[in-house]
Structure 1
C-alpha cells in the first residue's frame, strides 16, 4: 500500500496537512494590530453561521448587521449581544452600508438571487467579500464576478467551507499520493426529509419586510405568503434548487480531489415525488451525472424529502479507486480496501452541521480564518477563490439546465458552456431595470 509519512496520518485534528489547527485553537490566537470590521448581509439563516464564525477570530469585529426585514434584524441583534458581543450597527439597505467608511469585509448570506450583485457592488466599493454558495443565479453572473475580482483586486472567498477541512485536505494528499490508485468515480449524495411548503397566495408584504429591496435584481412581482424566509429556494425566479443549494458542496469536493473542472456531458433525471399539490416548482428528487473526456465520472443523488442515509451520513462523497475507496464528509473520512473492509478512520476534533439549514460548525471558523489570513498577508492563497467557486457552482447550474431542457448537455470543457441554443438561454437571467449584474 502506498503510504504517506505516518506522522501526518494521526487520527483527528492533530494532522498537519493543510490547515494545522482546529477551529478552537485558531480562535484563541492573539492577532496583530490589524483589526478588521465585518458587515454581515442577510442575518436570518446562513448569516448566523457567518457572524458566529467571524466573531471568534482574533482582531475581527462584527460591526454591522444588514437585513431587509426589521424583525429579523432586531431578533438576531439581540441574540448576538446576548452572546457577549458588542451591539452591531443595523441597516436595512446594504447600499448605505457600502457608502460609509469603516467596513473592511462584507459577508453575503442573502437569498441566491442577490449573491452576485451584492458581491460585485461590495468589491467595487473597495471591500473584500465572503460570499455564500451558490455564487450566482446563473453562470453568466459567475463570469461577471471573476471579471470584477480581477479588475478590483479584492479578495473573494466562496463559502464552501469544506475546502478548509483539515481532514479533507489530508484525504486530498492521500489521493494525490496514490493511496486509492486511480480514482475513476465519485458518488455524492444529499438526503433530507423536507416538508410541504403548502399552497400560498398573493398578499401585501408584511410591514417589517422591504419587499422591493428583497427582490433586488429580479423583475418585480407580487409577494406570496409562502415564499419568505426560506421557500424561495424552490421557485425558479429566486432560487436554484437543491442542486445549487447542497450538491455544490459535494460536487466541489469530488472534482477538487479528482483534479477535474468541466465535464464533457451532463445528464439530469429529476422529478417531483412528494407533496405534488403544493407550490414547490422544482424537482425534489434528482440524479445528476457528469462524465469527463477521460471516462471518469461524478454522480450526485439528491433526495430533498427522503432522509435515507448512506454510510451513516445524510451527505458525503464516496471515491472509488483501483486500489481502494474512501468516504468523506465535513466531519472526517474513512478508507476501505477493495474488499470493502475499513482500514483507516480519521475524525474531526470539532463537528460541523451537515443537513441543517444554518450549517454552522468548526469549518466556518477555519474558512473565515483562511480568508482573514489572506487579507492580512499571512496566508498565500484562499481556500476557495472565485474561479474554483464558479466552476463548482456552474456544474450545479448545468444540472438544472439539463433537467429543465430535458436533454443531455454537451459542453465546451474549457468554459463549461453547453452547445445547444435552448440550454444557452438559461446561461443568464433577466433583471429589474437599474439592477443589472454586470462586470
Structure 2
C-alpha cells in the first residue's frame, strides 16, 4: 500500500465522507475462496487487553494463522508476538496502520479489538477490502455507524461476527427460548444489570504521547484532543469521544440479552435515561460518562429497563452484579429458574422449543462461517450487533441531553414505572452506602424514536448525536 502524504490527504479530504482515503486491492469478487483445509490468515487490530483473547482464540485454532498484529503502540509488540509464537508457531508481522494489512491480498479476515471509536470504520474498511470481520462490542460508537456496518457486510458479501459472546451460549439461548415460549407468562419487563466496579480514575493533565506510540492513528475517527494518560490503555471507555460509558462497555452484553428476550425486537419507540458520574465524599475525577445510570425503553407492551451501578464491590450489600431478569404476568425468570408470583417453589426452566446456536463459540463459529460462506452460521451478525449496540447509544443520547435535577424530580420522572422506580431507589441506596449520596441526577428527556428510519421524532438535537464529526482521513462513509 502506498502511504499518503499530508498534502494528498488534504487534497482529497472533501471526498472522504463517501469513500475511504486509500485504495483497497480486495473486492467481493477478488476475495479468496477458502477451502476446508486451507489456512485462514488473520490480522488482529488492537492487541492490548481484549486483543490478547483474540490472539488466544485465533492462534490456537486449526488451520488458522495470525499473520499481522496491528496497534499504534509498538511498545507491546514483543510481548504479543511471543503469545502468537507460543500458541500458533509463527511470527506475525507487527504494524501500526491497519490499512497495510487490508491491502494484503493474502489476508482473509480482520479481528478488531481496538477502542470503540475505531470499530465501525475498521469493519467497513475490512468489508470493502474483501475481508471477513470479527469485531468486538459495541460494533459502533453511534447509531449511524452501526447501520453502515450492516450495509457494508451486505454489499460486499462478507461474514461479520460481533463479540457479544452470550449469543454463542446454548444455555443462554435456552433461557431466551423459555421466555419466548410464554409458558411462564407474558413478558412485561426485560431487565439488565451492568454493575461492575467503576470508581475514580483520577485526573491526568495533557502531555506528550509516549515514544513509539502513534497518537494520531490511535485517535483515528475521534475528535482532535490533547493526549493525556487516562486515555491509554483502558480509561478511554469513560470519555465520550472514544468510549460509551459502561452501558456500552460491559453493558452491551446484558443489553443484547435484554433485547433478545423481547421477541422480534429491533429498536425502541421511546427512550429515557438519567444518571451521573458519582464518587464518594464528593470526589471528582476526569471521566465524563456516568457510572450510575438508569435507562427505560419501550418496545410495544414490553419495557426494557437497564441499570448501571459502578459503585460496587467495596460494600458487601452492593456486590458486582452482571445479570438479566425477566418479569412476566406470572412471575420472574432469573438465574435459570422461574419464581411464581404466588410465592410457590421456584421451578427449573423448561422451554418448548430451542434456539439453535452455531457450535465453536464466538471465534469458532466465525471461522466455520468463513469456510461455508453462510452468514447464518455466525451467532451474532452485523444487524443483530447494530440493534443491541444502538440501544446503548440511544440511552446515552437521552443522558447527554439531560439537565441536572434534584433527586425528587428524578423520582417524579419514573413515578409511574414500578420497575424503573425500584431501580432508581437501588441507585440511591447504593450511592448512600458508599458515601456518594445522589442528591441530583442528570435527567434526560423521554425521546420518541422511529425504528424504521432510525431517527428521533421531532428532536433535531437528539438526531445530531446519532452520528459525529469525523477527522480527515478517518471518516465513516455515508456510502459504503
- Shorter-chain TM-score bucket reads 0.7 to 0.9
Distance 1:245 1:432, change over 3 A: same
Distance 1:147 1:83, change over 3 A: closer
Q: Equivalent of 2:147, from 143, 148, 153?
A: 143
Aligned-pair Cα RMSD in Å: 2.4
Corresponding residue of 1:209: 213
CA contact (8 A) 1:34 1:376 kept: no
Corresponding residue of 1:268: 273
Q: Equivalent of 1:399, from 361, 381, 395?
A: 395
Segments of structure 1 that go 5 or more residues without pairing to the other structure are 1-30, 347-362
Q: CA deviation at 1:252?
A: 1.0
Corresponding residue of 2:71: 67
CA contact (8 A) 2:110 2:133 kept: yes
**Does the alignment pair 1:367 with 2:370?**
no
| 1:80-134 C-alpha deviation (Å, 9 max, x unpaired) | 4344643222111111111122211101100011011111111111100011111
Q: Equivalent of 1:297, from 293, 297, 303?
A: 303
Partner SS state of residue 211, structure 2: coil
Distance 1:306 1:376, change over 3 A: same
Matches within 5 A, 1:109-148: 109-148=113-152
Q: Equivalent of 2:290, from 283, 286, 294?
A: 283
CA contact (8 A) 1:163 1:383 kept: yes
- Residues in 2 aligned to 1:156 and 1:386: alpha-carbon distance in whole angstroms: 6
**Does the alignment pair 1:102 with 2:141?**
no
**Does the alignment pair 1:428 with 2:470?**
no
Moved more, 174-183 or 309-318: 309-318
- Residues in 2 aligned to 1:235 and 1:364: alpha-carbon distance in whole angstroms: 36
Q: Equivalent of 1:418, from 456, 462, 471?
A: 456
Matches within 5 A, 1:281-360: 281-293=288-300, 295-307=301-313, 314-328=321-335, 333-338=336-341, 339=343, 341-344=345-348
Q: CA deviation at 1:310?
A: 9.7
Distance 1:152 1:215, change over 3 A: same
Distance 1:412 1:311, change over 3 A: same
Moved more, 258-267 or 104-113: 258-267
Distance 1:309 1:186, change over 3 A: farther
Corresponding residue of 1:353: none
Partner SS state of residue 123, structure 1: helix
CA contact (8 A) 1:184 1:297 kept: yes
Q: CA deviation at 1:345?
A: 7.1
**Does the alignment pair 1:238 with 2:242?**
yes
Q: CA deviation at 1:342?
A: 3.0
Q: CA deviation at 1:55?
A: 2.8
CA contact (8 A) 1:182 1:323 kept: yes
CA contact (8 A) 1:190 1:315 kept: yes
- Residues in 2 aligned to 1:116 and 1:309: alpha-carbon distance in whole angstroms: 39
Matches within 5 A, 1:7-86: 32-83=36-87, 85-86=89-90
CA contact (8 A) 1:402 1:423 kept: yes
Partner SS state of residue 376, structure 1: helix
Partner SS state of residue 289, structure 1: strand
Partner SS state of residue 272, structure 2: strand
Corresponding residue of 1:409: 447
CA contact (8 A) 1:139 1:394 kept: yes
- Residues in 1 aligned to 2:318 and 2:339: alpha-carbon distance in whole angstroms: 12
Distance 1:364 1:132, change over 3 A: farther
Partner SS state of residue 151, structure 1: helix
Distance 1:83 1:375, change over 3 A: closer
CA contact (8 A) 1:54 1:368 kept: yes
Corresponding residue of 2:157: 153
**Does the alignment pair 1:437 with 2:440?**
no
| 1:284-329 C-alpha deviation (Å, 9 max, x unpaired) | 1001111222x2111111012323799986201001123343225x
- Residues in 1 aligned to 2:217 and 2:148: alpha-carbon distance in whole angstroms: 22
Distance 1:211 1:82, change over 3 A: same
Corresponding residue of 2:177: 173
CA contact (8 A) 1:54 1:365 kept: no
CA contact (8 A) 1:107 1:131 kept: yes
Number of residue pairs matched by the alignment: 388
Partner SS state of residue 136, structure 1: coil
